[in-house]
């Protein structure tokens, strides 16, 4: 069922046995939870490494996982009792000695098969000598013995729970993964998910001892539940999504868990699936009773989301000064560049929010919501509207190319609805903020967030499709293709404007066995879909071999279905970045930034470019910033630390000024949140440098397998 290797690294095992490696119970002096603490602040009180000596950092150790993946690793390491728990490229869990980098054990749930998904952290639980690591590869939630990496018997089946079960849909027809870790409250593992089209994103709490579901919150409300009437008729049985994929924050004193959700799916088109209405609890901030799963309050940041402006990271638990009072709040950054600051008890905004009119949809049957919320403060940390004057100025040729493309597209500012014509979105669906989220400094009430600042385009296409028996292999393949493949490859029968390869004439260019291998193992930028069963992969391949130019099943070749069919409309979509002729972003720089936001005043204190194209700098162009992910951490030593940029740099900034204090050249982009910890009086900083989705068209694609720890020299 799995492969496991165990190495007895003396220092690591000594910490297990003696429990002497923890500094104290202060969550801001350890890194035992994803993003540093249960409030997702990314803050550390450690100050041995500081603005005065950070330039002296040197490599303490490098752990080479031995696995590579097109997706890289987005893992934020956890450090408990001197042992570091990570997730490698290829989604294997590992324990390593946090002082030496020596491997203690490695758990491979895929039995050596290649896997290209991502996980961002594990979750740690203990009760006396029973210490467990919870890990979510593919569609499973595993409980591993923290000492050995061996699955814990008695948890689920052979140490694992199938997350496709318990959602009220046929498990064989749903797609469920969890890229962000569970949040632990007592013995409850509260877990969101990434889901395919038609799979509901309900939030569940699993028992950490047994794997049993203790409660479930329906993010697409069932009949009789609050918010059910904000969806179309039958949507609770048809629509999917509204899922929490970015992780959660927990107020342990209030026993409230906070999270952001995604749009309902299909993402960009609602007739026949989602229907009219605001679609609660899609694209919303939720406060839920951690013990019962009951809603306490919600705040929807996008009504009837047609833009995939889902909330990509947990709300950060903050305390701010408003009108002379200290107020406990949550701060939620968004892909649009907004920051919503809400009272932690009531969900009421601490700064004014306006409902402003936005453009209507031009799609027949689509009812875009007429207004959207715009926070007056804090100030947006990205541009939210562009004109011809905002197009790239890095060369006359680039400006001319961008101007032509801009004039070809439909664009009415933020919240331009998708259309059958190519439309521009700015900011793009990748942010603004993304899964790295923000970090918060409780010393100063400053919020630090890295941002992407470029556009992308979308074009819808609509086709009549037959309503056929889902047990039919071609119909099932069509459904699986739409859930797993259409967002990149669009309609398989003909080329569409997309950055990814067209699947027109795929049966001419590939054999069925070749396609089966590519779907299972991935290729180039395409991740592995090894979590699909062989039967599911076979269904997709058969569909691709029997599809017409509009993506419909060729019924003439499907001899088992010589009957009359009902038809319905199906909508697919194609994306591409808004780029110039050389692959650089087609708007004026900066294209990536690091921002410091004062949450007491709502004002941006400083903004600096994040990332560099050295070839552009050599041409005399000021530093532009690059695409960036991963997120920041902030320390009492006066530092903001972040990798995440396409240029493979790991940087330390002065948290007061935004000045770059230290830069290290990584072997591959560090598209993960760093962590910092202290053992035996010595502070370390660690980051995964494994490449993956940080890469972009203008920069060669690089993958790696290294986790690198830094510290100060002994003198």
Q: Indicate whether 680 pLDDT > 60.
A: yes
Contacts of 645 (CB under 8 A, 6+ apart): 592, 610, 611, 612, 626, 627, 628, 651, 669, 670, 694
- pLDDT the model gives residue 374: 98
pLDDT tens for each residue of 255-309: 999 999 999 988 888 887 888 999 999 999 999 999 999 999 999 999 999 999 9
Q: Strands of 339-343's sheet, edge to edge?
A: 316-322, 325-333, 339-343
- Mean pLDDT of the 320-326 span: 94
d(CA 628, CA 445): 24
Question: Can you tell me which residue has the tokens 């104290």?
Answer: 24
Q: Indicate whether 19 pLDDT > 90.
A: no
- Mean pLDDT of the 75-102 span: 97
pTM: 0.88
- Confidence band (pLDDT; 50, 70, 90) for 685? very high
5-19, 47-61, 444-458, 698-712, range with the lowest pLDDT: 5-19
Instruction: Classify the phi-psi angles of 91: left when phi > 0, otherwise alpha if psi is within -120 to 50, otherwise beta.
Output: left
DSSP string, 504-557: TTHHHH--HHHHHHHHHH-BTTBPP-TTS-HHHHHHHHHHHTTB-TTS-B-GGG
Q: Which two tokens stand for residue 466?
A: 């037959």
- pLDDT the model gives residue 80: 98
pLDDT tens for each residue of 227-269: 999 999 989 998 899 999 999 999 999 999 999 999 998 888 8
Q: Indicate whether 402 pLDDT > 80.
A: yes
Q: Indicate whether 575 pLDDT > 60.
A: yes
- pLDDT the model gives residue 559: 42
- Mean pLDDT of the 208-232 span: 97
Q: 633 φ, ψ to 5°?
A: -130, 155
Q: Which two tokens stand for residue 137?
A: 């590869």
Integer Rg of the chain from CA: 24
- Mean pLDDT of the 334-345 span: 98
- pLDDT the model gives residue 558: 44
d(CA 464, CA 200): 24
Q: Which two tokens stand for residue 130?
A: 């029973």
Q: Indicate whether 113 pLDDT > 90.
A: no
For residue 462, give the nearest of 485, 502, 496 by alpha carbon: 496
Please tell me whether the peptide bond between 516 and the residue prior to it is cis, using omega within 30 degrees of 0.
no
Q: Considering the domain 458-577 in this protein, what is its CATH number?
A: 1.10.760.10
For residue 441, give the nearest of 43, 96, 708 by alpha carbon: 43
Q: How crowded is residue 325: how many other Cβ atoms within 10 Å of its Cβ?
A: 7
pLDDT tens for each residue of 64-86: 999 888 888 999 999 999 999 99
- Mean pLDDT of the 108-133 span: 90
Among the four given CATH numbers 3.20.20.10, 3.40.50.720, 3.30.70.3150, 2.140.10.10, the one describing domain 3-455+581-711: 2.140.10.10
Chain mean pLDDT for the chain: 89
186-200, 397-411, 439-453, 455-469, range with the lowest pLDDT: 455-469
Domain limits, the chain: 3-455+581-711, 458-577
- Mean pLDDT of the 173-178 span: 89
- What share of residues in the chain are helix, strand, coil (percent, to 5)? 15, 35, 55
Contacts of 619 (CB under 8 A, 6+ apart): 394
CB-CB contact of 660 with 645 (8 Å): no
Q: Which two tokens stand for residue 299?
A: 């705040």
CB-CB contact of 87 with 106 (8 Å): no
- Confidence band (pLDDT; 50, 70, 90) for 10? very low
Task: Please give the residue that has the higher pLDDT: either 602 or 546.
Answer: 602
pLDDT tens for each residue of 503-551: 777 777 788 888 888 887 666 556 667 657 777 888 888 888 887 766 6
d(CA 300, CA 123): 28
CA distances from 483 to 36, 126, 199, 266, 548 (A): 33, 37, 9, 9, 19
Torsion angle defined by CA atoms of residues 297, 300, 304 and 309, in that order, rounded to the nearest 10 degrees: -130
d(CA 586, CA 195): 32
Q: 484 φ, ψ to 5°?
A: -115, -20
Q: Strands of 675-679's sheet, edge to edge?
A: 58-64, 703-711, 682-691, 675-679
Q: Say whether 458-577 and 3-455+581-711 share the same fold.
A: no
- pLDDT the model gives residue 115: 72
DSSP string, 574-638: EEEE-B-TTSSBSBPSPSEEEEEEETTT--EEEEEE----HHHHHTTPPP----B-S--EEETTS
Q: Indicate whether 18 pLDDT > 70.
A: no
d(CA 640, CA 635): 7
d(CA 681, CA 156): 40
CB-CB contact of 497 with 459 (8 Å): yes
d(CA 194, CA 349): 28
- pLDDT the model gives residue 557: 45
Task: Please give the residue that has the higher pLDDT: either 543 or 206.
Answer: 206
d(CA 591, CA 572): 28
Q: Indicate whether 212 pLDDT > 90.
A: yes
- pLDDT the model gives residue 489: 76
pLDDT tens for each residue of 453-469: 999 999 887 665 555 55
Q: Which two tokens stand for residue 173?
A: 């027809």
Strand partners, 423: 410, 458
- pLDDT the model gives residue 561: 44
DSSP 384: -
Q: Which two tokens stand for residue 50?
A: 């500081």
């Amino acid at each position: 069922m799995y492969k496991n290797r165990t190495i007895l690294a003396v220092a690591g095992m000594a910490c297990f046995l003696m429990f002497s490696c923890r500094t104290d119970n202060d969550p801001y002096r350890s890194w035992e939870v994803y993003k540093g603490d249960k409030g997702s602040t990314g803050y550390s009180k450690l100050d041995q490494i500081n603005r005065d000596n950070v330039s002296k950092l040197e490599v303490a150790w490098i752990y080479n996982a031995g696995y590579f993946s097109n997706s890289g690793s987005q893992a934020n390491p956890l450090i408990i009792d001197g042992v570091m728990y990570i997730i490698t490229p290829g989604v294997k869990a590992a324990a390593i000695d946090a002082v030496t980098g020596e491997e203690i054990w490695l758990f491979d749930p895929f039995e050596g098969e290649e896997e290209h998904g991502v996980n961002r952290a594990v979750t740690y639980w203990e009760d006396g000598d029973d210490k467990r690591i919870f890990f979510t590869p593919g569609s499973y939630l595993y409980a591993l013995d923290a000492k050995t990496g061996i699955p814990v018997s008695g948890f689920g089946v052979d140490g694992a729970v199938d997350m496709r079960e318990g959602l009220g849909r046929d498990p064989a027809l749903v797609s469920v993964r969890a890229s962000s870790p569970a949040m632990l409250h007592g013995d409850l593992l509260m877990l969101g998910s990434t889901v395919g089209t038609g799979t509901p994103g309900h939030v569940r709490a699993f028992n950490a001892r047994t794997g049993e579901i203790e409660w479930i919150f329906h993010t697409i409300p069932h009949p009789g539940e609050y918010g059910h009437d904000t969806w179309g008729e039958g949507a609770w049985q048809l629509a999917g999504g509204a899922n929490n994929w970015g992780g959660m924050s927990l107020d342990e004193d209030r026993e409230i868990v906070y999270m952001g959700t995604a749009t309902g799916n299909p993402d960009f088109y609602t007739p026949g699936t989602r229907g009219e209405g605001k679609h609660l609890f899609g694209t919303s901030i939720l406060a839920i009773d951690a013990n019962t799963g009951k809603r306490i309050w919600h705040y929807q940041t996008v009504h009837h989301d047609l833009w995939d402006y889902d909330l990509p990271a947990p709300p950060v638990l903050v305390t701010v000064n408003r009108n002379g009072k200290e107020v406990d709040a949550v701060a939620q950054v968004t892909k649009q560049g907004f920051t919503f600051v809400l009272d932690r008890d009531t969900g009421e905004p601490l700064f004014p929010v306006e409902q402003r009119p936005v453009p209507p949809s031009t799609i027949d049957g689509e009812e875009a919501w007429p207004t959207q919320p715009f926070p007056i403060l804090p100030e947006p940390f990205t541009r939210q509207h562009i004109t011809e004057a905002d197009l790239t100025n890095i060369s006359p040729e680039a400006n001319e190319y961008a101007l032509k493309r801009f004039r070809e597209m439909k664009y009415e500012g933020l919240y331009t609805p998708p259309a059958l014509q190519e439309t521009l979105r700015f900011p793009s669906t990748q942010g603004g903020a993304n899964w790295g989220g923000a970090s918060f400094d409780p010393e100063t009430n400053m919020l630090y967030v890295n941002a992407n600042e470029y556009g992308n385009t979308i074009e819808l296409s609509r086709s009549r499709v037959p309503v056929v028996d889902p047990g039919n292999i071609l119909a099932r393949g069509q459904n699986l293709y739409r859930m797993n493949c259409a967002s990149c490859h669009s309609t398989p029968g003909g080329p569409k404007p997309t950055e990814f390869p067209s699947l027109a004439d795929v049966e001419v260019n590939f054999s069925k066995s070749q396609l089966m291998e590519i779907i299972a193992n991935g290729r180039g930028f395409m991740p592995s879909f090894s979590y699909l069963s062989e039967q599911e992969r076979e269904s997709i391949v058969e569909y691709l071999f029997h599809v017409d130019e509009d993506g419909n099943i060729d019924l003439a070749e499907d001899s088992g279905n010589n009957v009359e069919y009902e038809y319905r409309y199906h909508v697919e979509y194609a994306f591409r970045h808004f780029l110039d002729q050389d692959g650089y972003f087609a708007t004026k720089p900066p294209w990536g930034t690091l921002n410091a936001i004062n949450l007491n005043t709502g004002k941006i204190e400083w903004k600096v470019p994040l990332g560099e194209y050295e070839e552009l700098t050599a041409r005399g162009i000021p530093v532009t910033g690059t695409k960036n992910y991963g997120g920041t951490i902030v320390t009492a030593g006066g530092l903001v630390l972040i990798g995440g940029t396409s240029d493979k740099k790991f940087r330390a900034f002065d948290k007061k000024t935004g000045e770059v204090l230290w830069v290290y050249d990584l072997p591959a982009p560090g598209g993960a949140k760093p962590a910092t910890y202290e053992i035996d009086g010595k502070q370390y900083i660690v980051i995964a440098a494994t490449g993956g989705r940080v890469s972009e068209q203008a920069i060669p694609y690089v993958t790696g397998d290294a986790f690198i720890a830094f510290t100060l020299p002994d003198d």
